[in-house]
Amino acid sequence: MWKRNYSRIRFFVCLTGLAGILSACASMGCYEDNSVRLQVGFYQQSSSSLVAIDSVSIWGVGSDSLLYNNKSLQTFELDLNPLSNETRYVIRVQDGLFRMQDTLTIRHQNQPWYESSDCGCVLHSSIDTCFTSETLFESVTIQERQVQSNDIQHILLNI
């Protein structure tokens, strides 16, 4: 049974308001890890395996803060500089009074990726070249140039 015009108009006005409110849908939340870092490992060529090194400290060239302070590391993560195409880190190993350090230089192209309004932006990068000053490490191997995931080793520092 169709209602009178007044009831129809009231019903229509309510739905119009509801439509306006419903158009702002609730947030879905972010369920993904939205930070991507360069995954680095210490690699011993003689045993063809990753190796742990004690008393490692790492900091960025141009930064005052230590990323790793006197830690035993086999693999570790580094942030690439979002404002530059070159990122440099000092890696120091302290063994008693014996201290050696090397500088790792990574040249890369930054590709910010905005995933969603809930997850925000992550920095994807593409590695062009990678080298050290060869005082501590023999060479660097780039295993994966695309820094878009934390699940794989991107570079290996060969000792």
Partner 1 sequence: MLTIQAQEQATKETVQTGWFNGMTLGLDVSGPASLLINGSGTGAVKMDVNVRNKYFPTIELGRAKWDKTNDLAHRFQTVGNFAKIGLNLPISIKGDRAENAFLAGIHYGYSRFSYDIDNILLDNYWGSTALRLQDETARVGWLELSLGVRVRAFGPIGLGWTFQYKRSLHQKNGSHSVPSYIPGYGQNTKPSAGIQAFIYIPLFP
The residue ranges that bind partner 1 (CB under 8 A) are 2, 5, 8-9, 12, 15-25, 27-28, 35, 37, 60, 63, 65, 67, 78-79, 81-83, 87, 111-118, 120-121, 123
Q: CB of 15: closest distance to partner 1 in angstroms?
A: 5
Q: CB of 88: closest distance to partner 1 in angstroms?
A: 11
Q: Which is nearer to partner 1, 49 or 111 (CB)?
A: 111
Q: CB of 37: closest distance to partner 1 in angstroms?
A: 8
Q: CB of 109: closest distance to partner 1 in angstroms?
A: 12
Q: Do the beta carbons of residue 105 and residue 124 sit within 8 Å?
A: no
User: Angle at CA 154, nearest 5°, toward 110 and 77?
Assistant: 80
Question: What are 12-15's contacts with CB under 8 Å, separation 24+?
Answer: none
Q: CB of 66: closest distance to partner 1 in angstroms?
A: 10
Distance CA 62, CA 144 (A): 26
Q: Which is nearer to partner 1, 83 or 97 (CB)?
A: 83
Structure tokens given for 91? 């890696």
Structure tokens given for 59? 């900091």
Q: Which is nearer to partner 1, 25 or 97 (CB)?
A: 25
Structure tokens given for 107? 């040249």
Distance CA 9, CA 109 (A): 59
Distance CA 130, CA 60 (A): 15
Structure tokens given for 82? 């979002």
Q: Which is nearer to partner 1, 51 or 90 (CB)?
A: 90
Q: Which is nearer to partner 1, 2 or 31 (CB)?
A: 2
